[in-house]
Structure 1
């Protein structure tokens, strides 16, 4: 007999009595739905939702202190990364919190067999019908539809918990989270290349003051692996630590990387790699359909692996596309993807030393407690010696829409203030955020995302650089439109437009910070190769090192701006700025610097 999802769950539930249900519920969170979300009506009572329960991590400040020390090149513990077990010990909840949550779940008839607990014990996950979740959380779930793209989610605008759980539960999601991971710009241009040859000859070069080698003139119209290796001084480096090093790309929203396209890319740009490929890891029902190539996935894999070849590459495909069909009572994953991926990767003994992600959304659509908790997961990876890179977004200071004339830059905190819109996870202080440049000599790409977080305070390692930038602004510039005390981003940049990839069998140009991010990640993988070859540990969390260099090892980009919210946005300027960070990398110089520590 085939069981419905509701019948299947009933095997793990015990009958409820009115006396078993906890009383004295206390409101824990209430939100205003972000713009563009329209309530369609009550969620079907039998629809299954996944609830993730976050337990407090009382020793997380200790982990944060360790991370600061092992990431600071001037500290005696630099590079002494923590083990998986040490990190788990530092994020484990107090046993009393686990007991309280288990008792609460049991009071609602949820047996131990129906609970999933993370290895550290700091997350407990259950699948329950909507009717069960509504009773547990004293709320009402609804079906919500996004009026721009039609996505449908099951969410509530508030939830409550027994007062006895106050100190034992940090948050429960997905409840009030309307955040959706979106691909960054990745603008495809399908027009065929012109028949007329370019005006420059095949051997024409551009000499750029301060850059190590001349650059092919063709790179001003088409970016290839060769262009990036010339621009960023990687031409002559030969990796040697392939058996110790690794690079990975993450994929969500059913974006698949195509092996045949990669072979064509390698034949065109990296002939030595022609007979190689990458490892695919499927998470939470993820797929990698070869009949349905994704431009984003192809871009990530082709340039990250093309630059770092022959470093072993991994492609993580995380399943669970959020949209829900309200007329189907099926088990679907309505959770945003970063925590699903983090659950998996934090449980692995061995992790690639460099991981790149090209997805994000408006920071203000993410409940603050959830944003902090996801960000804390990235801190755990950094503590274990992995560098996490995210694109800065493609809407300048605006809401992620690459067309600045149609951006809506209004706060969703009930005040309806005009505000610049930060991007998440780009704004997380425990990731390295990559902005975009274009042209040769390089200028800021006009879509390069950047700004200041409304959630995360400015971290210690960027105090001096950001203060210097803020003091350079004329008095009153954009006053009230951004939080000058917030974590500022991006940290660095790289070329971000006119990339030549292979997609569905043909070459096509593509661009966005989803191009600059895997490119910078490929360079970081080579820096890790140099350190590992020299017997040193991987770089891990990059930001304290980057800011301590004060621009050394980078080409400062001082021309351009990234408009948004009806303004010209911030300008690229001398030193760090919230358009290009410290600028673009010089691998040769950075290699010398990182081998000193």
Structure 2
């Protein structure tokens, strides 16, 4: 028995030594799915494989050494996003194994992302175990190169957060719409607001026929303030989809509504093939820049016009890559575009949201629109045939400030389309730990199972969003939507930053901890209205925070008082 054990042990040792004499086979062929869809997302159809020789730029988002460090840093204004020491070594070995030239690989996004420039689609398919195809959106006609699933070697799953573009079938929707005629209530008289604007009195409620800049400045108490830090303070407006504004329309708008005809107004920065054709402006771009300027004039403005490039790059990732690489970044940024969170892969959403957190840690206040579909568009049925409310992204990211819509005044009320609800991707952030549970207690069991009660709640604040006059192609027209509310709110935050900078202080940066804390006293609580959708009545605006108007609308002077 003793000699038998020795013989067996001898065989084992011999085999082990033989295996050690051979070079270890790399683990890069042991592929496991990272993310996939069971079917092509709704409204997208495949047009087949990309043309031979087509290339894409891949972004490999690396997991940070300390996953909570960035969020801690956001609250403490620090910066810790570097990957674990072994991560780069492993990923570079994997890329080398697949013949990816080191000259085509660069670091970006603060060191947490590897950018692979000009990867052939054939090579990307091999690298990721994917099947890239060209897809077209049946409603909007937009085409993208994507795959319904991709894999990574098992050894990399703990090191790579996501790869972009892969399964992110998202296209930004602009949040403006044709104004609705509201025939509810009984007209009992005409009057003028204290700002001099004509209003209609409906059953005791003052309805503004045109929410002009003079009305907004009176309503939100900014009309007496003139910016003083124009050499330092800047307001940025993001235009996705190649949208571009018209300087002629801006000039006409500012001459009529701000009595200004001597300003440069804004400059356009073109990114990734973005446009700047004044002869072909877009209503969204005009609305966004005109109301940002109307509220913050004469603060300098930058309009970022973003293109897709030949490889149909991801809008948000390209813009975030650009802005994080800039030496000088606007202190306030307005984004009026949204995606359905439902079709935003969770790890992709985390990756984009982390980049927004990086911006916040750099002292930037980022405001985004909550959407115009209330709690959700259509039946809100998911792939399992169940109804589920549809929040929007990047609004559900906890590290941006989300703007819903209001209408009327004395009192203001929620706009019926104001997007709101709870994230299915992101848990409730620390700054909402007191305000959101109060709403949920009031809601009770209503809509149970249709939303995530532990998710990040949106919006955070709100602003006027109905009957906003703009100039477009030389003609005046009205627009409605949270696209207008967002630059209005951003303009007010920009004025607060101007005041802070002009008094030798730092800008606000990430707003939400302050808004949900001391800044709350500077907001007008909205307690009327709701946001129907999904064939239901939606959530109701109540005292305190609610998923319709958030904490309320801004009062500039009172907010200044909370910064003293």
Q: Report the equivalent of 1:270.
A: 258
Deviation of 1:20 (Å): 9.5
Q: Report the equivalent of 2:276.
A: 288
| Aligned mates of 2:110, 2:134 — CA distance in 1 | 33
| Aligned mates of 1:215, 1:585 — CA distance in 2 | 20
Deviation of 1:41 (Å): 3.3
| Aligned mates of 1:550, 1:349 — CA distance in 2 | 29
Q: Report the equivalent of 2:543.
A: 574
**Does residue 55 of structure 1 match 2:36?**
no
Partner deviation per Cα, 1:63-119 (whole Å, 9 max, x = no partner):
3113224xxxxxxxxxxx44xxxx3xx112234222222222222222122223216
Match of 1:98 among 88, 96, 103: 88
CA 1:432 to 1:408, structure 2 compared with 1: closer, same or farther past 3 Å? same
**Secondary structure of 1:41's partner?**
coil
**Secondary structure of 2:498's partner?**
helix
CA 1:54 to 1:575, structure 2 compared with 1: closer, same or farther past 3 Å? same
| Aligned mates of 2:98, 2:142 — CA distance in 1 | 31
Q: Report the equivalent of 2:8.
A: none
Deviation of 1:60 (Å): 4.5
Contact 1:456–1:486 (Cα < 8 Å) also in 2: yes
Q: Report the equivalent of 1:24.
A: 30
Contact 1:98–1:121 (Cα < 8 Å) also in 2: no
| Aligned mates of 2:535, 2:478 — CA distance in 1 | 28
CA 1:45 to 1:386, structure 2 compared with 1: closer, same or farther past 3 Å? same
| Aligned mates of 1:39, 1:315 — CA distance in 2 | 33
**Does residue 124 of structure 1 match 2:111?**
no
**Does residue 449 of structure 1 match 2:419?**
yes
**Secondary structure of 2:494's partner?**
helix
Taking the TM superposition and a 5 Å limit, the aligned residue runs for 1:310-389 are 310-320=298-308, 332-389=310-367
Alignment root-mean-square deviation, CA = 2.1
Runs of 4+ residues over 6 Å off in structure 1: none
**Secondary structure of 2:349's partner?**
helix
| Aligned mates of 2:519, 2:218 — CA distance in 1 | 23
CA 1:275 to 1:141, structure 2 compared with 1: closer, same or farther past 3 Å? closer
User: Which residues of structure 1 form unaligned runs of 5+?
Assistant: 1-18, 70-80, 192-198, 208-213, 322-331, 400-406
| Aligned mates of 1:27, 1:463 — CA distance in 2 | 35
Q: Report the equivalent of 1:547.
A: 516
Deviation of 1:335 (Å): 2.8
**Secondary structure of 1:170's partner?**
strand
Contact 2:427–2:454 (Cα < 8 Å) also in 1: yes
Match of 1:424 among 386, 393, 402: 393
| Aligned mates of 2:537, 2:87 — CA distance in 1 | 49
| Aligned mates of 2:58, 2:209 — CA distance in 1 | 48
Q: Which has the larger radius of gyration?
A: 2
Q: Report the equivalent of 2:155.
A: 164
Q: Report the equivalent of 1:10.
A: none
Contact 1:52–1:124 (Cα < 8 Å) also in 2: yes
Q: Report the equivalent of 2:525.
A: 556
Q: Report the equivalent of 2:73.
A: 66
Q: Report the equivalent of 1:235.
A: 223
CA 1:134 to 1:351, structure 2 compared with 1: closer, same or farther past 3 Å? same
**Does residue 493 of structure 1 match 2:445?**
no
Contact 2:362–2:509 (Cα < 8 Å) also in 1: yes
| Aligned mates of 2:425, 2:530 — CA distance in 1 | 24
**Secondary structure of 1:472's partner?**
helix
**Secondary structure of 2:163's partner?**
strand
Larger RCO (CA within 8 A; separation ≥ 6) = 1
| Aligned mates of 2:421, 2:465 — CA distance in 1 | 18
Contact 2:69–2:81 (Cα < 8 Å) also in 1: no
Match of 1:512 among 481, 484, 489: 481
| Aligned mates of 1:484, 1:20 — CA distance in 2 | 44
Match of 2:440 among 456, 470, 475: 470
| Aligned mates of 1:168, 1:67 — CA distance in 2 | 22
Deviation of 1:21 (Å): 10
Partner deviation per Cα, 1:227-278 (whole Å, 9 max, x = no partner):
1001111111121111221111001112101111111011101123543221
Contact 1:435–1:580 (Cα < 8 Å) also in 2: yes
Q: Report the equivalent of 1:224.
A: 212
Deviation of 1:505 (Å): 0.9
**Secondary structure of 2:327's partner?**
coil
| Aligned mates of 2:88, 2:446 — CA distance in 1 | 49
CA 1:205 to 1:119, structure 2 compared with 1: closer, same or farther past 3 Å? closer
TM-score by length of 2: 0.89
Q: Which moved more, 1:96-105 or 1:285-294?
A: 96-105
CA 1:119 to 1:431, structure 2 compared with 1: closer, same or farther past 3 Å? closer
| Aligned mates of 1:215, 1:62 — CA distance in 2 | 51
Q: Report the equivalent of 2:374.
A: 396
Partner deviation per Cα, 1:433-481 (whole Å, 9 max, x = no partner):
00000123321100000000000000111111111111111x3200111
Contact 1:551–1:575 (Cα < 8 Å) also in 2: no
**Secondary structure of 2:241's partner?**
coil
Match of 2:45 among 38, 44, 58: 38
**Secondary structure of 2:111's partner?**
coil
User: Which residues of structure 2 form unaligned runs of 5+?
Assistant: 1-24, 182-188, 200-206
Q: Report the equivalent of 1:206.
A: 193
**Secondary structure of 2:451's partner?**
coil
Q: Report the equivalent of 1:110.
A: 100
| Aligned mates of 2:230, 2:109 — CA distance in 1 | 29
| Aligned mates of 1:444, 1:577 — CA distance in 2 | 10
**Secondary structure of 1:187's partner?**
coil
Partner deviation per Cα, 1:150-183 (whole Å, 9 max, x = no partner):
3332222211122232333221121111111121
**Secondary structure of 2:160's partner?**
coil
| Aligned mates of 2:37, 2:245 — CA distance in 1 | 37
